[in-house]
């Protein structure tokens, strides 16, 4: 993988830094920010069991108070990514 390539899910780039994941194209009107709020241990793996999904404007001129367009919480990372992909398809 070159430096310019990202992992993708359902056709959208997915970048993780710690407990935050950014999902979507920065050139689109919105991206999704997913925050892993809690995890649980399954054998040797840490599995997300509570994740916040936020649909965010990418336009830097949008006031900070209006930056987050939608928010939801889901029980797993898969469910959160599913919600985020639906929002990205609908609002971009």
| pLDDT, average across residues 54-62 | 96
Question: Cα 46 from chain centroid?
Answer: 18
Assign 83 to helix, strand or coil.
helix
Question: pTM here?
Answer: 0.87
- So what's the pLDDT on residue 2? 46
**CA–CA separation, 42 vs 56, rounded Å?**
31
**CA–CA separation, 44 vs 73, rounded Å?**
25
Q: Is the pLDDT of residue 82 over 90?
A: yes
């Amino acid at each position: 993988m070159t430096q310019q390539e990202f992992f993708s899910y359902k056709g959208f780039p997915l970048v993780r830094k710690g407990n935050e994941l950014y999902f979507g194209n920065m050139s689109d009107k919105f991206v999704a920010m997913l925050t892993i709020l809690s995890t649980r241990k399954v054998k040797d793996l840490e599995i997300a069991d509570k994740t916040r999904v936020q649909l965010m404007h990418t336009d830097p001129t949008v006031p900070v108070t209006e930056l987050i367009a939608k928010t939801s919480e889901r029980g797993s990372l898969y469910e959160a990514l599913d919600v985020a992909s639906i929002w990205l398809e609908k609002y971009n």
